[in-house]
Structure 1
Amino acid sequence: MKLRIATIDIGTNSTRLLIAEVENGFVKPLYKTGRVTRLGRGVKETGYLSQESIERTVAALKEFKKKIEEFQVEKVVAVTTEAARLAKNADEFLIKVKSLGIEVKILSDREEAELVYVANVSHFKPAVPAVTVDLGGGSTEIAYGKGEKLLYYESLKFGVVVLLERFIKNDPPSASELESLERFIEAELEKFKSRAGIERPFRVFGVGGTITSVVAMEEAMTVYDSEKVHGYVVTCQLIEKWFKKVSSVSVEERKRIVGLEEGRADVIVPGLAFFRVFCRVFGVKEITVSELGLLYGLALKEAKRCQKG
């Protein structure tokens, strides 16, 4: 059975849409877009989603709804993640979205990690164990497994927005801020590593706006090219190069970097700090960049459901 679906991922930092045709366990993407909406801005401190963040996100969803109608989508699957898991007023947000005709499910951290992991290993079919790293705005899902079997995962309760709000007050950041930021990330990743029991050799697949931005900046993309980004092997040297560049200049100067989305100009520093530390802690030399995040994982789940009939 062929089905035209839309998957929506309402994250802490950005809101994304994928429209695809699914049939016999396969996903054929037709259209993809995203907006930096910062739904989770300040939620760690206040416990609430701000009205401005809610309105920004609802505005993006109204745009998406027009596209969904234009593509004559038959089924919409919408999820939200860490910001909504934390917020005391998540219901208020979900009701506003429901008024647009979009039902949203708050995804558990395990569901989030597993969907991304399975999407990547089923696509790339690595010959060795795999680690997927989905660096979000409010949380970071790291999953490890062999083939499609997930062996271990954790949802680390920080992402680029949380790291920015917690550690960086100066523009550009001071040396002591960057040092504190990296010390924190290193301690968290070391704890994960000791619990996960990852066997060597393994391949790392990086998902999310930070790692895709490395490719877009390196290739000086005036228009984002997902086909070129997907499967691009980013070396840890390249991460180091761009970390040094972005952390040494102001947010305004970063906005002028070709390939860097304006809405990511502030969070790119903690994002690259994370991957820089990840390379060091896990002793890897490269990360394969993947476009197959949560949106694709949700679509693949629907494709498998259609296959079962």
Structure 2
Amino acid sequence: MLLKKDQGPVAVVDIGSNSVRLIVYEDADRAPSPLFNEKVLCGLGRTLASTGKLSPDGVKRALRALRRFRAVIDQIKVGHVEAIATAAAREAENGPEFIAQAERILRRKIRVLSGTEEAELAALGVISGIHAADGFVSDLGGGSLELIDLRSGRLGDAATLPLGGLRLIDASGGSLKKAREIVDAELGKVDWLEKGRGRDLYIVGGTWRALGRLHMTQMNYPLSVMHNYRIPADDALKFAALLDHQSQSSLAGIRDITSARRETIPYGALVLERLIKQMKPRAVVVSVLGIREGLLYTLLSQEEQQRDPLIAACEDLARQRSRSVDSAYELCFWTDTLFRAPGPTETLEQRRLRHAACLLSDISWRAHPDYRGVQSLNLVAHGDFVGVDHPGRAFLALTIYYRNEGLVKDELSQNLIELVDKDSVKRARVLGAAIRAAHMVSAAMPGVLTNTPVSYEGNRLVWTLPDPYSNLEGERVERRFKELATLLDREGEIRVGSAYQLAAG
């Protein structure tokens, strides 16, 4: 069943080997926003390796959580609910009995995923949130590890291995030395890992997100956004090797690790370490989106799937927070001319980021002028939109900061500047200056920028304001346009009046 945009809240209940989670999304679209998100660490698969059954305490906690989730779903008046279960429910002897109880509580059928389906949905989750993702997707849960080759948007070889954190603890009797032997033996059965050499390794799952958070803290990283956090493979290998020798007591003092995650962190680090050694990727990339988002992605129309997730998210923000999304799109096209020869040219990715910045350019207009720069910087730098890597996110944040604060105040943006190269900083300043000038004429209203184009003429940057827009020219417009022209190594000229009337159409 395909879902339609604007149909209202959509819920996914995910019954995993370690956690049971409910996410209610605001709507079914390319960049879904969580309306409600709750997770309960139940440990269903804690005793799976030793007994072949779900943990009795885990079953009790999971059923209690599902009763609450059903009540929340009813309270929000969710129109469509999807429910899935993974490795523990699939493999346990008492799995069918548990699923039957869970279905009575949720009042709907639960889809028990195969290992291959888990891997494929995790890969689709990565596709839905990381632009042009290409590499290996690895999803570590409490009961299993899924691996799948993702190349140019297509799903390839897949495997599911009994290497989930809780399962490893159970199977090894709590011995990291024995767990290492188990991991090496299982990974040795996957004869296509060498296909990942020199490519990205996308890691999915709560334990690996916690590991990524620890690395981010250690590096004093300037962003707090976990999604698309990239670690060079050598650094990730050293860090994982350090963590997989830690005891729970040694991790207890680390604020970034919850007590519930301390148990599985060393085992998750062990799996990552051994996987990196065998696969030899170029980098490890954290994906916050996984099976649940992959499932939602499968329910979208092909047209919706093909939308750019970053542009979709920025458009949604523009509709919610800016004065006119139509004006924001006009700004995209107005700035196209600035970034064509003889001006600075751009790649397709740079053009994509520029258009995203234009869509975000007016989202802080309601804030007090003294705080717009700070607010917009934080909103963009730490926003929950996807489809952009961290250097791209920093570029967007810098552009919107310069748009609001001007080009002379850099103190709040210094940490972000560390994430981008000099060319990106210059582009952010040029685009920020262009947006500042454009908004002085358009007042963020549609129908103006399409009729007041800019152009290059020799060493001049010319802005034409024909009638009936000629009276929009003024001192501040002239000053801001001069700043833009200077950044582009041009002389700025504003032409006004009926002599420069544009041809109709």
Shorter chain as normaliser: what TM range?
Answer: 0.7 to 0.9
Equivalent-residue separation in structure 1 for 2:55 and 2:197 (angstroms): 44
Amino acid corresponding to residue 125 of structure 1 in structure 2 = H
Question: How far is the alpha carbon of 1:220 from its aligned partner?
Answer: 5.2
Rate the CA distance shift 1:49–1:265 in 2: closer, same or farther, 3 A.
Answer: same
Residue in structure 2 matched with residue 111 of structure 1 by the alignment: 117
Amino acid corresponding to residue 274 of structure 1 in structure 2 = V
Of residues 134, 142, 147, the one that matches 2:147 is 142
Equivalent-residue separation in structure 1 for 2:93 and 2:302 (angstroms): 33
Question: Highest relative contact order (Cα 8 Å, sep 6+), 1 or 2?
Answer: 1
Partner SS for 2:257:
coil
1:152-171 equivalence runs, <5 A? 152-169=157-174
Partner SS for 1:73:
coil
Deviating more after overlay: 139-148 vs 194-203: 194-203
Question: How far is the alpha carbon of 1:238 from its aligned partner?
Answer: 4.5
Question: How far is the alpha carbon of 1:132 from its aligned partner?
Answer: 0.3
Rate the CA distance shift 1:156–1:256 in 2: closer, same or farther, 3 A.
Answer: same
Of residues 292, 298, 302, the one that matches 2:299 is 302
Equivalent-residue separation in structure 1 for 2:241 and 2:196 (angstroms): 28
Q: Is the 8 A contact 1:182 1:273 kept in 2?
A: yes
Equivalent-residue separation in structure 1 for 2:293 and 2:59 (angstroms): 24
Partner SS for 1:133:
strand
Question: How far is the alpha carbon of 1:253 from its aligned partner?
Answer: 4.3
Residue in structure 2 matched with residue 37 of structure 1 by the alignment: 42
Equivalent-residue separation in structure 2 for 1:239 and 1:8 (angstroms): 33
Question: How far is the alpha carbon of 1:290 from its aligned partner?
Answer: 0.6
Residue in structure 2 matched with residue 84 of structure 1 by the alignment: 89
Residue in structure 2 matched with residue 173 of structure 1 by the alignment: none
Equivalent-residue separation in structure 2 for 1:232 and 1:123 (angstroms): 12
* 1:60 lines up with 2:87 in the alignment: no
Structure of greater Rg: 2
Partner SS for 2:32:
strand
Deviating more after overlay: 231-240 vs 38-47: 231-240
Q: Is the 8 A contact 1:220 1:258 kept in 2?
A: no
Residue in structure 2 matched with residue 9 of structure 1 by the alignment: 14
Q: Is the 8 A contact 2:128 2:297 kept in 1?
A: no
Residue identity (%): 26
Partner SS for 1:125:
coil
Amino acid corresponding to residue 242 of structure 2 in structure 1 = K
Question: How far is the alpha carbon of 1:151 from its aligned partner?
Answer: 1.3
* 1:214 lines up with 2:214 in the alignment: no
Question: How far is the alpha carbon of 1:26 from its aligned partner?
Answer: 4.8
Question: How far is the alpha carbon of 1:306 from its aligned partner?
Answer: 10
Which structure's residues are more often strand, by fraction? 1
Q: Is the 8 A contact 1:35 1:60 kept in 2?
A: yes
Q: Deviations over 1:8-64 (max 9, x none)?
A: 111111112221134455533323231211011212222222331111111222332
Q: Deviations over 1:207-230 (max 9, x none)?
A: 001210023334559xxxx97111
Equivalent-residue separation in structure 2 for 1:200 and 1:293 (angstroms): 22
Partner SS for 1:152:
strand
Question: How far is the alpha carbon of 1:185 from its aligned partner?
Answer: 1.6
Q: Is the 8 A contact 1:18 1:296 kept in 2?
A: no
Amino acid corresponding to residue 182 of structure 1 in structure 2 = R
Residue in structure 2 matched with residue 287 of structure 1 by the alignment: 284
Rate the CA distance shift 1:254–1:168 in 2: closer, same or farther, 3 A.
Answer: farther
Equivalent-residue separation in structure 1 for 2:155 and 2:137 (angstroms): 10
Equivalent-residue separation in structure 1 for 2:184 and 2:244 (angstroms): 20
4+ residue segments displaced more than 4 Å: 305-308
TM-score, normalising length: structure 2: 0.54
Partner SS for 2:17:
coil
Of residues 71, 74, 79, the one that matches 1:69 is 74
Equivalent-residue separation in structure 1 for 2:216 and 2:268 (angstroms): 19
Equivalent-residue separation in structure 1 for 2:243 and 2:161 (angstroms): 27
Q: Structure 2 unaligned segments of length 5 or more: list them.
A: 306-505
Partner SS for 2:155:
strand
1:171-186 equivalence runs, <5 A? 177-186=175-184
Q: Is the 8 A contact 2:198 2:282 kept in 1?
A: no
Equivalent-residue separation in structure 2 for 1:216 and 1:265 (angstroms): 13
Of residues 239, 242, 245, the one that matches 1:244 is 242
Q: Is the 8 A contact 1:11 1:136 kept in 2?
A: yes
Equivalent-residue separation in structure 2 for 1:242 and 1:147 (angstroms): 28
Deviating more after overlay: 147-156 vs 56-65: 56-65
Partner SS for 2:106:
coil
Residue in structure 1 matched with residue 438 of structure 2 by the alignment: none
Residue in structure 1 matched with residue 261 of structure 2 by the alignment: 264
Rate the CA distance shift 1:61–1:278 in 2: closer, same or farther, 3 A.
Answer: same
Equivalent-residue separation in structure 1 for 2:224 and 2:293 (angstroms): 14
Question: How far is the alpha carbon of 1:303 from its aligned partner?
Answer: 2.6
TM-score, normalising length: structure 1: 0.85
Q: Is the 8 A contact 1:24 1:304 kept in 2?
A: no
Partner SS for 1:100:
helix
Equivalent-residue separation in structure 1 for 2:136 and 2:151 (angstroms): 9
Equivalent-residue separation in structure 2 for 1:64 and 1:164 (angstroms): 29
Equivalent-residue separation in structure 2 for 1:227 and 1:16 (angstroms): 23
Question: How far is the alpha carbon of 1:257 from its aligned partner?
Answer: 1.7
Residue in structure 2 matched with residue 189 of structure 1 by the alignment: 187
Q: Is the 8 A contact 1:23 1:306 kept in 2?
A: no
Q: Deviations over 1:76-121 (max 9, x none)?
A: 1111111111122222212221232343221111111111112212
Deviating more after overlay: 194-203 vs 113-122: 194-203
Rate the CA distance shift 1:24–1:37 in 2: closer, same or farther, 3 A.
Answer: closer
